[in-house]
Chains A and B, each alone.
Chain A
Amino acid sequence: MFHSLLSNPRTRVLQSKIAGYPLGLAAVAAVTLFALAFQDNVDPTIVALALLVVVLFVATGWGSWPALLATGFGVLSFDLIQRRFNELGGANGDWFVLTALLITAVTAGQLSAYAKRRTKEAVAGKREIEQLYSELRASFERANQVEAAKRSEQLETSLLDAVTHNLRTPLTSIKAVATTLYNELNHEPGKIDVQYWGELLEITIEEANKLNRFVEGLVELAQIESGQLWLRKRWGSVDEIIASALTRAEAITRKQRFDVKVEDNLPAVNVDPCFMVEVIYAIVDNATKYSPADTTVTISATRAQGQMIQIAIEDRGRGVPLEIRERVFEKFYRSPTTEAKEEGRPTGIGMGLAIAKGIVEAHGGHIRIEDGNKGYGTRVVFVVPITGERMASPVIMETNLPMGRFD
């Protein structure tokens, strides 16, 4: 609006300072002519007030100097009118009017100039702030890019570490067993210690399975990352999904108690049940690894706002520090503390939660970590749309989800 007014040529002429002089003179002349024309009905005080209004108008519009000119002209014309009226006597009235007009002209002119200056300053200030803001944003973006580059470098290193560790360890076991047994065959052919062979071969099979799980995880992550996760959605109940996840997790859930709370009349969901089971399995697996024996892991399913189902898995373990809550979902990320390892508990390979996140997001959902009950333990919460359709882009989804809703 402001800009369009300024760019209009007519308003620009009116706004120029010089325009104030002729306009002021014209206005005073108009008042004088009007007064002379209707001298019988017009009181000189009214004329004085009219002149005052003119001066005030000129002063606010064009500043003190045009107003002073209008004042001078106004005094002359008022003198002329007075003489014509011949009622108000002497020059005293003139001087009074002159003084009043002068004061008005200067004060109003100054005030108006001050106001204009302030406006200009404010506009300039606003521009400066905008510029600062954009510079700041640019530098933030640069910092983010540097951070992202650093992150991706870290990711590459951790990828290499994870791959070397998770592939080489089982491979080392397998090769050690194979060479051991091969040597046995060479040295004492025909003499097989069945128990010894059985024991070593059992380790080999377990290690081969571990290798296989790792490779499967890599493939799944690759599919998620390239957006090629093929979801076979079916309508199914949340209870069934949770139950089959717990069945699958049977071997790892013996140390803790499991408490499942599913809200009554929860609608069926249209999801890929195998993948959903995998999400719950991955979270449960984590919960059992990082929480003490004989504690309770709670799995709850509730209806959430916006046609969503919310599933939360809460343990009574050590919890996840705020600063790594996003990072635990990165592939191959493992918490810097090696507590689990020191305590002789199995450690993960840093893929479960990354895969879980990929699956939930492929369903148009969202996953995050929160404090457990009373700030103790870990609570992994994910929501998926009941229809299984992507509601919007994940970014918009995130801002639409009120943060306090899960508290």
Chain B
Amino acid sequence: MTDLRRILVVDDEPQIRLILHRALAKQGYEVVTADDGATALETFRIWPPDLVVTDLSMPGMNGLELCRQLSAISDVPIIVLTVKGEEHIKVEALDAGADDYVTKPFGMDELLARFRALLRRASVPAEHVDSSIETGDFHIDLDCRSVLVGGREVRLTPKEFDLLVYFVRNPAKVLTHRALIKAVWGGSVDQTESLRFFVAQLRKKIEPEPATPRYILTEPWIGYRFNSGF
């Protein structure tokens, strides 16, 4: 890697900024910190990072608002730091543009793993102009609507296919129920049950062991996360 990956850390607690700064720098990232949303936005404009990690509750502009504003101007991956009990805000943040979350107190290995997954995803060209997607164990032909998982062909219904394509195009990030329903069903909410049903069907077809999925992972109460098997 020629140039360093840049990470913007946003948290109002100085110690946490300091620790993240030191630990991430040691891992070879270039790090800049901000103590609230407004400062983070300013920093973002003059020093565009490859990834943003932000706390949710901060004085002034909070993390939720920061997610909204950032996703309006950029595709930068965002990880939110939450605490147990903030589930509601967490889902809101994910809907507002955050890609993933880590619950405080977090282990540094866990945080770094999320960083790597999101940065890897971001380094893959965003859209595929050609008619096929190839990622991990998956080979999807968009024209013929055929799917190969680990070289084995699976037959999917149109809805299952759409769902899988959306998952494959958004790897590593947490996809909320709402985001998935909107993407596959086109807006109408309150179809969490049908979503669960289609995910279950999809798992039966693509997962080697549907009971312990390795591709489509459940984020309890929030949604799903797709892992292509990189």
Residues of A at under 8 Å CB distance from B? 164, 168-177, 179-180, 183-184, 193, 196, 199-200, 203, 206-207, 338, 341-342, 344
Contacts and interface: CB of A to CB of B under 8 A. Distances in A.
B114 to A, nearest CB: 13
A265 B225 CA distance: 75
Contacts of B106: 172, 175-176, 179
B85 to A, nearest CB: 7
A205 to B, nearest CB: 11
B190 interface: no
B16 A196 contact: no
Interface in B8-24: 12-13, 15-16, 18-20, 22-23
Nearest to A199: B22
B189 interface: no
9 contacts: A168-B105, A169-B16, A179-B108, A179-B110, A180-B19, A180-B23, A200-B23, A342-B59, A344-B35
A203 B105 contact: no
Contacts of B110: 179
A174 B35 CA distance: 20
Given A203-B15, A338-B59, A164 B108 contact: no
Contacts of B20: 176
A282 B3 CA distance: 50
Given A172-B13, A179-B110, A338-B59, 17 more contacts: A168-B83, A172-B104, A174-B105, A176-B19, A176-B20, A176-B23, A176-B107, A177-B19, A177-B23, A179-B108, A180-B19, A184-B26, A193-B26, A196-B22, A196-B26, A206-B15, A207-B15
Query: Secondary structure of the B side of the interface?
Result: helix
Contacts of B112: 183
A4 B83 CA distance: 72
Contacts of A175: 105-107
Contacts of A206: 15
A179 B22 CA distance: 13
Contacts of A193: 26
B60 interface: yes
A173 B16 contact: yes
Contacts of A341: 12, 59
A173 B15 contact: yes
A342 B108 contact: no
Interface in B89-148: 104-112
Contacts of B15: 169-170, 173, 203, 206-207
Contacts of B60: 342
B105 A183 contact: no
Nearest to B12: A341
A168 B12 CA distance: 14
Nearest to A193: B26
Interface of B: 12-13, 15-16, 18-20, 22-23, 26, 35, 59-60, 83, 85, 104-112
Nearest to A175: B105
B18 to A, nearest CB: 6
B22 A200 contact: yes
A170 B108 CA distance: 15
B19 A200 contact: yes
Contacts of A184: 26
Given A173-B16, A200-B22, A203-B19, A180 B108 contact: yes
A176 B12 contact: no
A171 B103 CA distance: 12
Contacts of A170: 15
Contacts of B13: 169, 172-173
A349 to B, nearest CB: 13
A202 B85 CA distance: 30
A168 B59 contact: no
Contacts of B26: 180, 184, 193, 196
B16 A176 contact: yes
Nearest to B23: A180
A256 B135 CA distance: 62
B16 A179 contact: no
Nearest to A206: B15
Nearest to A183: B109
A179 B26 CA distance: 14
Contacts of B85: 164
Contacts of B59: 338, 341-342
A344 B109 CA distance: 30
Contact of A172 (B12, B18, B35, B105): B105
Contacts of A203: 15, 18-19
A176 B15 CA distance: 10
Q: Report, nearest first, the 10 A-B pairs whose CB atoms are least far apart.
A: A172-B105, A175-B105, A179-B107, A179-B108, A180-B108, A180-B23, A172-B104, A338-B59, A173-B15, A171-B105
A342 B59 CA distance: 7
A342 B83 CA distance: 22
Contacts of B16: 169, 172-173, 176
Contact of B105 (A176, A200, A338, A344): A176
Contacts of A199: 22
A193 B23 CA distance: 12
Contacts of A207: 15
A183 B112 CA distance: 11
A378 B19 CA distance: 36
A183 B26 CA distance: 12
Contacts of B23: 176-177, 180, 200
A196 B59 CA distance: 30
A184 B112 CA distance: 13
B60 to A, nearest CB: 7
